[in-house]
Structures are given as structure tokens and as C-alpha cells.
Amino acid sequence: MKLLLTTILLIFGIFSSKAQIDDFPIVKYNDINEGTFSIDSTADAIVLLEKGRTFIQSSDVDRAYMVYHTHKIRIKIINKEGFKHANFTLPLYKYGSTFERIESIKGITHNLENGKINATSLENKNIFSENNSAYIKLSKFTLPNIKEGSIIDVEYTIISPDIFNFRTWNFQSDIPKIRSEYNVLIPAVYKYNVTLKGGLKLTDTKSKIENACLTIYNSRVDCSNITYSMDSIPAFIEEPYMLASKNYLSAVYFELEEAIVAGGSKQSFTKKWSDVDRELLTEKSFGGQIKKQDIFKEKIAPSIFATEDLYSKANMIYSWIQKNIKWNNTYGKYSQYGIEEALKTKNGNVADINLALIAALNAAGLDAYPILVSTRNNGLPNNLHPVISDFNYVIAGLKIDDNIIQLDATDRLLPFAQLPLRAINGKGRIIYNKKSSEWIPLTNQIISIANYIFNGKLSLDGTISGELTINSFGLEAYNKRNDILEYASMEEYTEKLDERLPHIDFEKTEILNLEDTQNVLSIVTDVIIQTNQKLINGNNFYINPIFIDRTTRNPFNLDNRTYDVDLGAKRIETYEINIQMPEGVSLVSAPKNVNLKLPENSAKYIYTSDYTDNVLSVEQFLSLAKSIYTTDEYFGLKEVFSRIIQQLKVDYTFKYESK
């Protein structure tokens, strides 16, 4: 749904075509004409200047002290690939019952036209608002008249009730910046822990005292006026298999430690985990839901509760919750509707489902506990002291024989004891009781497996026909099941396969255990592979037998990766290929066999082949025995994939001579 922003935007207005963002230098001819920059000659866009200012002020509209955050940015669009940086999506979060709001948005595009610099302003009608979820609204706009060489200026102010975290300022982003500076005005009644994260250092920090900057409790208080600046900031480059980029960007964070409240006393906001444990377990929408065990004693079949094998009992209860409450795609550590309502409507958020799972497991005599999680996109939680707002998700921890089995029943395609990738993010906090909790690594205990088996034969017309079986388990099966179920029918799915792999015809396809998540997912299909080579007497021809899902691109290309590789699960990938050749075919050359291992067998790659009795047999085995590889292990992992790609580039050369 697209809605114009409120009348407030009209009041604060959009700059005229001749205007500019306050305290930004005037755009000059050379600014637009310059095509490359020494900081990054390959950049598609670059931030020429960025300024932020955050302060606390009383708001008559909200009748409360609010955080005002103004962001100004000037970006040079260098080429067409950089046009995307003229698109802005500003999230507005809900804190308690109050949403953040935008007070003003200003935007100008500067272009060089007929030797003159012309400015085009963003119009109110092109600013849209939409509801992303019950807790997030989005304000969206795109700067007008974007061309190669355009310089865009954007300014907006966000008003937020989140005094606790003040405002994070990211010096680093996905494009380089020439300069970024951030000014904060912190009243003396608030004390914040200020942390600079990331690998880059500040260029300068300036501070001074600003007298009587704010009236609070009928008294004027001083403020610390601090400006942080950073110059020549390289772009942060993302690679596959990483946590949220916000964990690694160079940024300054603020966290409220204490405040002086009415009467002059101090209130501490830095709590102990025992305080948080007690608060959560006495909270109606958290601990109060876990206590509702009697509901499940009435609803779940007595035969399930009577099952003696603890794993089987837990698995059946897990499946029952999956079938009886559908996830509404809303995160949350607190129950949105409550277990009773969620069961009645068969609908609920993450906490409705997983707190219900914990209550049901406890009702069956099993030991289950809540585990607080910060999802991947939300960033890693603070592990030095409790920051409850860091967590936006909750899963179940089932204790059997001193092992903690991590469970998430939000997705019906998730098998027992497997977590979705969104919930695997460093460590979670498992809460045993009101006085005891601890950090626990978030891991997938199920190995992700992909197994390809092909048995076929080559014809004289150059086609290879046979049966292909793809077996998947764990995270690999979860992803493939989701992919398959996106299509309305098997015919539509195979049509998409034909489009994606034009050299392969899928004749007949059968899928086994599509929704039986406890077993191996199997795709069995008859295929015809076009090699586009007829067998001609006396001539050579070439075959690369790993024809599906071949690794052709290295996911690891950085010279220096400063963050871990996080696969989400240990992985095993195998190929077993057998191709019967026609009579008269001889092997001329073949790729060499490979046996490559990293220290402690943390990764292993084996490739072997044999040609006997006119049958080409090829086996490939890749084992990634760790779900997380450190930065020290990165280059070894990078080399393994490089060797795989080199290996798979080499074709088998055969010669056909008719008899």
C-alpha cells in the first residue's frame, strides 16, 4: 500500500531547484565532471560528504523526550550500475506503542546540462510509506532525473522514542566515502557507553561542553557536544556465508548506562542476567505462556505423552505444534496473541509458536527452556552484559541426556533438531529459571548433504541419456523443498529446470519425501544431455560428466576477509557418475585424480575417475567439516574451491573409431 507522507512533509517542504542542503558546499562543474576517485577507481557510486546530528529534545507532539536524528548525504552516481544508490528505504521502528516518524525529507539531483548545473527536486508525491510488519514501517523514495554523473543530496530527520540506544552511526557502507562525520549532543543527565566497532579508525574526535542545552525537570542542563569524523572510508565488500554486515561495519554505538531521574536520583540501565531472567519469566507474554502446560494435556493425544522414547516423544510434539500453529512471518521474543489464541486461530508469531512448543514439551515431562536469539539480519547480541532489545526471536532448547537440542517449529519444512539459517547467529541465551541462564552456541546438529547419482549411456548422436537421482538432507533439503513448493505443480518445476539448464531435457521426474522432513528428499528424473558433438570415426570428442550444479565460481575472492565464513551447517557433497560409452570409444586424456585436505581434515576434496569396459566412472567428494571457518582458515578454504574449479574445467577427451 502506497500512502503519501503526512502534512508534516508539506510544512517542512522540499527544496526549490536552486536550493541546496544546509551547510553542504555548492555543487560545482568539476564535481559532476569528475569520473573516478583515487579512494576506489572501480566504484559505481561514492559518498562525497555525509553528516549526521543526533540530540534529545522534548516533543510537544509526543509529550516525552525524543531522540532527533538528522542525516545529510551527498552521493556521486558514477555509472548506470550506481543508479540503485538513488533509491532510499528508511525503516521506522516501533518501540512499545510508539513508532518512529519522519519529520522531513529533502532531495535534490544535480546534473550538468548544456554547460550549466541544473537541480531537480524530489516531490512529495514520490515519497511513499508502507507497512512492512506490525513493528516496522518503511518510507521509500527515489531521487528524480538520475543520470551517469549525477550528484544527489538527501536530508531527512527521524524522531525516535529510543533513548536507550540513542542512534548508531555507520561510517562504512557498501560504497566508499570521502568523508563522514557525526555530531551528538548528550545531556549530562544521561550517561552512555560509547563503542567504536569495525576495523577502521576515526580521523578525528572533537568535544566541548554546551551550556544549558536542554530543560529537564524544570532545570537547564549542560550537554557534551561531540563530533566524530572519518576520512577515506573504503567500501565494505560482502561475500557469501557471512552474518549481517552490520556486525563488521565501522560504526559508533551508544547504549544508555544510567540516567538521572526526577528528584535527582540515578537509575541504572545496565542489568545483570539474573534480573533479566526474572523479568522475562514473570512477564505474561513470555514466562506466563510457558506455564500454560495444562492446555496441551487436553489437546495432545495421550498416546504421544505415553511414548517412552524421549526423542520420539519430543519429535511427535514438535510435529504437532508445527501442524497446529502457522507462522505469520512476524519475529518476536514476546507472544503476540498468546498460546490459547494462537491455537484457536492456528496462527501466531515466532514466540507464540516456540513458547507453545516449550510448554507442550514440559507438559510431557520433558525439560525444555527458552533460548533468546538475535536473527542474522538483526546483528550479534551484546555478550558483555544484557541488552534485551538486542533479541528479536526465541527458540526452544530441549535437554536430553545432558545435550541441548535446539528447536524452531515456525516452519513446517524444518525437521526436528534443525534451525533455519535466520536463527543461526553466534550465540543465544538459554534461560533455565529465574536465577540461571547462560550463552549457548547456535548450531545445526544435522549435516547438510547433497548427493548426485547418474547412470547413463552415450549415443553416437552425442546425447547422453540416463537416470539422475539427487538426494538431499538437512539444510540442503530444506532449501530445495522450499524451492520446489514455490511452484504450483511438478510440471511447472521441471519447466523451470529446463529453462535453467537448457542443455538438459528432463523427461520424467518423481519427488520422494517432499513433505516428509525426517527422511531424505529424493528427486529421481530421466534426463537427456545434449553434448552437441556427434561421434565421427577417427575424431576426438569431449565430455565433462559433472553436468549439474557444477562449481564454476569461487564464493571466496577477497584478498583479506576480516569476518568468519558461516555456512549454517557442516556440509557434504558427493557425485557418483557412470556413463556407458559405445563400442569403439577409447580414452585419450582425463583430469588427474585429486586428494586435497586442510589441517585437521576441516575440509576435504577428493576426485577420482576410472575407465574400464567402456564405462566412465567418476566420483567427487567434498566435505566441509566445520560450519564456521575463522579468518585464519579463510585462505585454505578459498584455495580448496579454487582447486575444485580448476579440476572441473578439464574435460575428458575420447576418440571414436568404428569397427
Alpha helices in 283-327 (DSSP H): 287-290, 294-299, 302-305, 310-324
Which residues share a beta bridge with 280? none
pLDDT tens column, 78-124: 999 999 999 999 999 988 888 999 988 999 999 999 889 999 999 99
Q: What is the mean pLDDT of residues 397-416?
A: 96
Give the list of residues 6+ apart from residue 131 with CB closer than 8 angstroms, or none.
1, 137, 138
Strand 45-59 to 177-187 pairing: parallel
Give the list of residues 6+ apart from residue 15 with CB closer than 8 angstroms, or none.
21, 106, 107, 108, 119, 121
Q: Is CATH 2.60.120.1130 the classification given to domain 448-656?
A: yes
Give the list of residues 6+ apart from residue 277 with CB closer than 8 angstroms, or none.
431, 433, 434, 435, 436, 437
Q: What is the mean pLDDT of residues 241-260?
A: 90
Burial class (CB within 10 angstroms; exposed 0-12, middle 13-18, buried 19+) of 241: middle
pLDDT band, very low/low/confident/very high, at 416 (cuts 50, 70, 90):
very high
Q: Are 247 and 374 in contact (CB under 8 A)?
A: no
pLDDT above 70 covers a percentage of the chain that reads: 97
Q: How many residues does the chain have?
A: 659
Q: Is CATH 1.20.20.10 the classification given to domain 273-441?
A: no
Distance (Å, whole) CA 306 – CA 163: 51
Please report the pLDDT score of residue 22 as a whole number. Answer: 72
Residue 289 CA: distances (Å) to CA of 211, 335, 405, 410 = 49, 8, 21, 17
CATH C-level class of 3-267: mainly beta
Domain definitions of the chain by residue range: 3-267, 273-441, 448-656
Distance (Å, whole) CA 498 – CA 505: 6
pLDDT band, very low/low/confident/very high, at 15 (cuts 50, 70, 90):
very low
Please report the pLDDT score of residue 472 as a whole number. Answer: 97
Give the list of residues 6+ apart from residue 256 with CB closer than 8 angstroms, or none.
163, 164, 165, 166, 190, 191, 192, 269
Q: What is the mean pLDDT of residues 46-60?
A: 93
Q: What is the dihedral of CA 259, 265, 270, 275, to 10 degrees?
A: -140
Cβ atoms < 10 Å from Cβ of 533:
17
Cβ atoms < 10 Å from Cβ of 193:
15
In the block, cell 532448547 appears at: 397
Alpha helices in 84-126 (DSSP H): none
Centroid of chain to Cα 592: 38
Which residues share a beta bridge with 160? 67
In the block, cell 551547510 appears at: 23
Q: What is the mean pLDDT of residues 426-437?
A: 94
Name the pTM for this structure.
0.85
pLDDT band, very low/low/confident/very high, at 421 (cuts 50, 70, 90):
very high
pLDDT band, very low/low/confident/very high, at 21 (cuts 50, 70, 90):
low
Burial class (CB within 10 angstroms; exposed 0-12, middle 13-18, buried 19+) of 497: middle
| Best CA proximity match to 89, nearest among 28, 154, 31 | 154
Q: Which three cell numbers stand for residue 503?
A: 542443455
pLDDT tens column, 554-587: 999 999 898 999 999 999 999 999 999 999 999 9
pLDDT band, very low/low/confident/very high, at 20 (cuts 50, 70, 90):
low
Q: Which three cell numbers stand for residue 80?
A: 548506470
Please report the pLDDT score of residue 300 as a whole number. Answer: 95
Please report the pLDDT score of residue 16 as a whole number. Answer: 30
| Best CA proximity match to 480, nearest among 508, 520, 427, 443 | 520
| Best CA proximity match to 142, nearest among 85, 80, 104 | 85
| Best CA proximity match to 319, nearest among 217, 414, 390 | 414
| Best CA proximity match to 237, nearest among 34, 44, 38 | 44
In this model, does residue 381 exceed pLDDT 50?
Answer: yes
Q: Are 224 and 134 in contact (CB under 8 A)?
A: no
Q: What is the mean pLDDT of residues 141-149?
A: 96
